[in-house]
Every structure is written in structure tokens, then in C-alpha cells.
Amino acid sequence: MSDRTYILGIESSCDETSCAIVADGGEVLSNVVASQISLHAKYGGVVPEIASRAHIEAINSVIATAIKSASVDIDQLSAVAVANEPGLIGSLLIGLMAAKTLAWVHGLPLVGVNHIYAHGYSPAVDSTPIEYPGLALIASGGHTALYRCESPIELELMGSTIDDAAGEAFDKVASILGLGYPGGPVIDKLARTGNPKAVDFPRSLLKGQSLDFSFSGLKTAVLYHVNGVPGARRKPNQQEVGLENLSESGIADIAASFQAAVVDVLKIKLRRAAKIVAPRSLVIGGGVSANTALRQMVTDLADELGCTLRLPALKYCQDNAAMIAGVGYHYLKAGLISGLDLDARATVSR
């Protein structure tokens, strides 16, 4: 009998169907991710109904492949962990039903995991444990928030977006610039050839020492920059507005300037939060943590703050089940077992 704790994790909160088996909260034995990007691309964003249906089609084979490639028998598992909040309700329910079925059939404990906590744990996946207290920035397509972390499962919300999430802003700006979906990776790539100082886009910091974020004004500023302010008259000698009148380098400049504005805001808020937390670790997670400029900014900031930087490996930035199984280990150790009546929730309950 092995003394290792093997956890099977399931993630289906948005548009990735994923199953992983992780040993002792860190060592990834398998992590299978079925992406739905090609299904949603033509709509410029995730269509919930399409996402739910695609999860149903993928989930059985994703689970079977994860078990097979981990070379672990189901009877060696200690628990089934599943993301049950926050996310698209129809998507969450598919993973949750699969997890409940596995747990019931095999007599395993069911562990409901907060998807955001899992992003905050992602830097520890296939790596060393995070040192606490940590200051976490979770930036994805659905969330942008700062947390004070005392442990992998004790996170206190310090601030969050009052409108668009950072990833959502990347996706919408990419759409304005005619760059396709998802916008983050393509803006990231294009921004490398652009001038981040070309356009002085607004940095919305909100009132006082607020730790909340707002990205919708920035998105609108990009829209007006490209298409002109509605109702405004063109000045003499002013260049014709519209995407069709922009050169490739002009679009790259806008992408770089937009990205610089997002990264600047994140930096200012992280600095403010660090004054309160005095973190030993700066923890970054979520799809946007793959961003090159963000990764450079937090590298410099951790240096400035004199704390350790914990960035997830690129493959653990996007939604994945390895982080669910990883953080699920800590839920299990703390005795946080869920009943088979566990519900999916669109928003965070704790």
C-alpha cells in the first residue's frame, strides 16, 4: 500500500474540460486538457450553451485518458476534487456530476474546490510549496482580484474588478483591433513589436487607496481611439479613423500601449496591497499570468518588495485540473470534505 495521496481533479468551470491526477498536492502524474477555443472563436467569446454541450462530449474520454496516462488505479485514489465555484453554471455542473459519480461509485471522498483558490495554488503545481503569507493576483477571463493568502485554502479578498476582468479586456480589445479570440495571447505577441508609449491610454485607479480594478474605461478608450469618439467632428489634418485606416505597426502600437496600461494598473494595485500584507511570496495566477509584460513587471516588483515570486508554469496559467487536484489535497488534509449534495455556484461563496 502506497503512503502517497493521489487525488483525481476535475475542472470544467469555463471552456476547458480537464482531468488530472496529482500526488501529494504537487507532483502531476497526468493533466489532460480539452480546449474548446475553436468552438467559441467565431463568436469572439465563450458561449455558455456551447461550452456545456462540449463538456458533456469531452468529459468521459478526458477522465479515462487522465487515469490511463497516470498509471494509477482508481482504488489507489484518496479523493476526487472538483471545481464547483465560481464559473459558468452549466459548465461547472458537468464536471461536478462526473466527480460525484466517480466518488459515489468508488466510495471516495468528494472535495469541492474554489477555482480561484486553485489558480492561487497553481505556482506550487510541479514545484515547491508557496511560503505564506502571500499576496496573490488572480487575473483571468472572468476574474481580476487581489488576495491575502495565509495558506492554500485561506484566502482573503482585498480587491476585485468592478466591471471587466483583465482577460476580458484583452479579449474585447483584440476584437476591436480585429485580432480574433482569445485576445490575450495575440495582443501579447503583437505588443512585442509595438511601442508601449505610442498612445497614452488612461490608468483607472479608482478613489483613494482602492484595491479594486476597473478596465471598462480603458477598453472604451481603445474603441474611441480606433473608431473616433461618437459624434465628434474630425479636425483638419486629422487621420481618418477606423481599423481599415490603421497600419500593421499602428495596430501593434495600440496593442502595446493598451497592454502597458493594464500592467501599470496591476503594478500600482499590487504595490498598494503589498504595503498591507508584507508578503513573503508574490503569487500570480490565471490565464493573464501567461502575459510576457506582466511576468516581467512582477519579476521586477518582487525584487523591489524583497519577496519570492511565484509564477505558474505556462501550462498551468490557463484553466487546468492539476491545480484543482493540487489544492484539493489541502482541503482533504484540513477535513474539508463535501457531501454528494454539493452544488455548483456561479459566484464565490467564501
Site residues for ligand KG4 per CB under 6 A: 14, 140-142, 167-168, 170-171, 182-185, 188, 286-288, 290-291, 318-319
Q: Looking at this protein, which amino acid is placed at residue 327?
A: V
Per partner kind, with CB cut-offs from 5 to 8 A, the member of ligand KG4, Zn ion, none near residue 149 is: none
Residue 35 or 308 having the CB closest to ligand KG4:
35
How many of the other CB atoms lie within 10 Å of CB of 265? 21
Member of 78, 122, 140, 291 binding Zn ion (CB under 5 A): 140
Maximum Cα–Cα distance across the chain: 81
**DSSP one-letter string for 314-348:** GGGTSS-HHHHHHHHHHHHHTT-PBPTT----SS-
The site for Zn ion, by CB under 5 A, has a size of 2
Task: Kindly indicate which of the ranges 30-38, 134-142, 162-170, 309-317 contains the residues binding Zn ion, using the contact rule CB under 5 A.
Answer: 134-142
CB of 330 to ligand KG4, least distance (A): 20
Burial pattern 281-290, b for ≥16 Cβ within 10 A else e, equals: bbbbbbbbbb
Q: Is 16 in the site for Zn ion (CB under 5 A)?
A: no
Member of 137, 319, 325, 342 binding Zn ion (CB under 5 A): 319
CA distance 203 to 193: 22
Taking the mean position of all CA atoms in its chain, how far away is CA 156? 17
Residue 116 or 282 having the CB closest to ligand KG4:
116
Residue 116 or 273 having the CB closest to ligand KG4:
116
CB of 120 to ligand KG4, least distance (A): 12
Residue among 91, 59, 76, 72 nearest 29 (CA): 72
Residue 212 or 319 having the CB closest to Zn ion:
319
Give the contacts of 145 (CB within 8 A, at least 6 positions apart): 116, 137, 138, 157, 158, 159, 160, 161
Contacts with Zn ion by CB under 5 A lie at 140, 319
